[in-house]
Amino acid sequence: MSRLVVVSGGGSGIGRAIAEHFAAVGDDVLILGRRAATLAEAADAVNAELDTKRVTYLAADLSDVREVEGVAEHVSGLGGTVDVLVNNAGGFYGLDQPDTLAGYAAQWRANFEGNVLPTVLLTEALLPRLTRPGGRIVTLSSIAALRGPGTYGGAKAALHPWNAEQATALGPEGITANIIAPGYIEATEFFGDRMTPAGHAARVSQTLVGKAGRAAEIAAMTGYLASPEAGFVTGQILQINGGALLGRG
């Protein structure tokens, strides 16, 4: 039976690869993001490639309470329950702020609003609709949450205790909640025009495997965490970073 998978930020980069992964195994996938044209292009491309109509989209700013309520209404209208929620929307914000105390405050606010609110609001709004037992929540954090830089990493790190709370509260209902903390993943919109050949090489040289990560590698881990076989994995932070930061015992 096909599942319903909701992927925030599914119009580009890692989220798009995740949407493609689930559609390829026969799930229905709803992708969310602010840019309707980007979402439409992604849904059309994945549907055409897989010769399916499984990927649909809805444009919404997930840091806005009213718009998240709109998403919940839309999902309600689809009927059934949400089997997998992938909180992938986020980014590195506030670099355009002036080098002043006010600019610094704005940078912290932008990273909090852009990384924390989309995850916690969407999860809270869809919680009543999650499949019980068997529902899955997978949230994208970052290597930055474990080692900086501060504003972006601090915002992502806030998701870690939040995830622990979700796993604790929802475990008895048969729902798992896990974090994926990626290292450098190339070919997404994350770095915009900030990435340079030297910046790319520096990030690759931090890894033990001598390469950048690919969005499909994050999608594969998301697929595993969403599978029935992963029912004993919850409350975890899974690093996927080519060994750029080692796991600690």
List contacts with ligand NAP (CB under 6 A).
8-9, 11-15, 32-35, 38, 61-63, 88-91, 114, 118, 140, 142, 182, 184-185, 188-190
d(C-alpha 194, C-alpha 117), whole Å = 25
d(C-alpha 230, C-alpha 153), whole Å = 27
Residue 5's CB is within 10 A of a number of other CB atoms, namely 29
Q: Which is nearer to ligand NAP, 132 or 216 (CB)?
A: 216
Q: Which of 57, 93, 152, 184 is catalytic?
A: 152
d(C-alpha 247, C-alpha 249), whole Å = 7
Q: Which is nearer to ligand NAP, 112 or 134 (CB)?
A: 112
227: tokens are 């599978």
Instruction: Supply the DSSP symbol for 214.
Output: -
Least CB distance to ligand NAP at residue 133 (A): 27
Which residue carries 């909640």 as its tokens? 177
- Which residue sits closest to ligand NAP, CB atoms considered? 13
Q: Which is nearer to ligand NAP, 127 or 138 (CB)?
A: 138
Least CB distance to ligand NAP at residue 9 (A): 3
Least CB distance to ligand NAP at residue 64 (A): 8
For helices 150-157 and 159-170, the axis angle rounded to 10 degrees is 10
Least CB distance to ligand NAP at residue 26 (A): 23
Assess whether 152 carries a catalytic annotation. yes
Q: Which residue type sits at 82?
A: V
From first CA to last CA, the distance across the chain in angstroms is: 39
Least CB distance to ligand NAP at residue 51 (A): 24
Q: Which is nearer to ligand NAP, 63 or 176 (CB)?
A: 63
Q: Which is nearer to ligand NAP, 34 or 74 (CB)?
A: 34
SS3 85: strand
CA-wise closest residue to 94 among 106, 79, 112: 106
> What percentage of the chain's residues is helix, strand, coil (to nearest 5)?
50, 15, 35
Q: Which residues are catalytic?
A: 152
